Amino acid sequence: MATLKDIRKRIRAVKSTRQITRAMKMVAAARLRRAQESIEAMRPYAYRLRETIWEISRSADVDAHPLLANRPPKRVMLLVLTSDRGLCGGFNSQINRETEKYILEHTNDHEDIGLTVIGRKGRDYFKRRPYRIEKIHTEVLGSVSVAKADEIGQEIIAAYQDEGLDAVFMVYNEFKNAVSQKVQVERLLPVVPEETADTSEQGVEFLYEPGKQEVLSAVLPLYVNIQIYRAMLESVASEMGARMTAMDSATKNAGELIRKLTLTYNRVRQAAITKELMEIVAGAESLKG
C-alpha cells in the first residue's frame, strides 16, 4: 500500500501536469482563433478561383494546358499534411490511417504511389513502414506562408508537367469547428474544373487578353498553390482545435485523478491516526495491568 508521502508526491505531480495541460489548452485556443480567422478569410478566394478556372476552361480543349491533362493514374503522389508536434488527440492518426487506407485500396489501380509528407508526425509514421517518401517538409505549419505553399506547389507542378506523375491528391484535415475535423482526400492534379451554383450561365462568353492560353498558364499554377495554402490553413486550424479539445479532456481527467488521490490520502491518513490511537490505548491498558 502506498504511503502518505508517496500519495502527496503523486498529487503534486498531477497538479503540475494539470497546470501544463491548462496552459496548453489556452495557447491552443488563442492560436485556433487566429487560424480560424485565416481560413475563413481564405476560403472565399480559393472557391472563387475554382469558379474562375471553370469559366475559363469550360470551352477550352483539355490539351490547352498540361495541368488539365487527364492521364491514367499509374504514377500517383499523395501530399500528406500532419503536424510537427503531438498532444492533439487523433489528429495525426486519422490522417495516417486514411493515407494507408487509400494506398491499400488503390494498390491495383496505381502502379506507383509516392508520398510528400508535411510534418514530423507523418514523417516518423511512414518512415517505419514500407512506403516510398519522395519529399519531407517540416516546420511548415508552425508559420504558414504563401511562399512555402508556392515552393511545394512548384515542385509538384514540375513533376506533373514532366509526366513523372499522373495524379496528385492531398490528404488533410478539413476544419469544421473546434471539436470536429474531417479527413479529406482531395484531387490536386490534374485540375478538374467543376461547375458550382455560383458559376455563370454557360451561354455567357468572355474575351481574354492576351489570350485564353496565356490566362490559363497564369491562373492554373496559382490555383494549385492556393489549394495547397488553403489545405495548410485548414490543417493548422484542425490541429489547434484537436489540441484544445485534447488538453481540455486531459485537464478534466487530472482534476478527477486529484480528487481520487486526495480521498485516498485522507483515508490512509485516517487509518494511520486510528492505528496510532489504538497503540496508545493498548499501551495505557498494559500499564494499568
Three-class SS of 159-226: HHHCCCCCEEEEEEEEEEECCEEEEEEEEEECCCCCCCCCCCCCCCCCCCCCCHHHHHHHHHHHHHHH
Three-class secondary structure of residue 128 per DSSP: coil
pLDDT of residue 205: 65
Distance (Å, whole) CA 191 – CA 189 = 5
Residue percentage of the chain with pLDDT more than 90 = 52
Which among 16, 156, 171 is positioned nearest to 80, based on CA atoms?
171
State CA 69 to chain mean position distance: 30
pLDDT tens for 26-66 read 999 999 999 888 888 888 888 888 887 877 776 666 566 78
Other Cβ atoms less than 10 A from the Cβ of 276: the count is 10
- Give the mean pLDDT of the chain: 87
Q: Quick one: pLDDT at residue 161?
A: 83
Pick left, alpha or beta for residue 139 (phi over 0 → left; psi -120 to 50 → alpha; otherwise beta). Answer: left
Round to whole Å and give the CA distance between 61 and 106: 29
Interatomic CA distance for residues 182 and 261, integer angstroms: 38
Q: What is the pLDDT of residue 64?
A: 67
| Bridge partners for 173 per DSSP | 183
Mean predicted confidence (pLDDT) in 111-129: 94
Convert the pLDDT of each residue in 208-221 to its tens digit. Answer: 677 777 778 888 89
Q: Per-residue pLDDT tens for 250-277?
A: 999 999 999 999 999 999 888 888 888 8
Mean pLDDT in residue range 238-257: 94
pLDDT of residue 196: 57
pLDDT at residue 207 greater than cutoff 50: yes
C-alpha–C-alpha distance, residues 68 and 89, integer Å: 38
pLDDT band for 200, please (50, 70, 90 cuts): very low
Residues 6+ apart with CB under 8 A from 126: 80, 96, 99, 115, 117, 133
Largest CA distance in the chain: 117
Q: Which residues are catalytic?
A: 88
| Cβ atoms of residues 125 and 146 within 8 Å | no
Query: What is the average pLDDT across 121-139?
Result: 93
Residue 173: predicted pLDDT: 94
Identity at 163, one-letter amino acid code:
E
Lowest mean pLDDT of 83-87, 99-103, 115-119, 189-193, name the range.
189-193
Compute the average pLDDT of residues 171-187: 90
d(CA 60, CA 53): 11
pLDDT at 18: 95
pLDDT digits (tens, 9 = 90+) for 70-113: 888 899 999 999 999 988 988 999 999 999 999 999 988 889 99
Q: What is the CA radius of gyration of the chain?
A: 29
> So what's the pLDDT on residue 117?
95
Of 5-9, 134-138, 199-203, 227-231, which range is least confident?
199-203
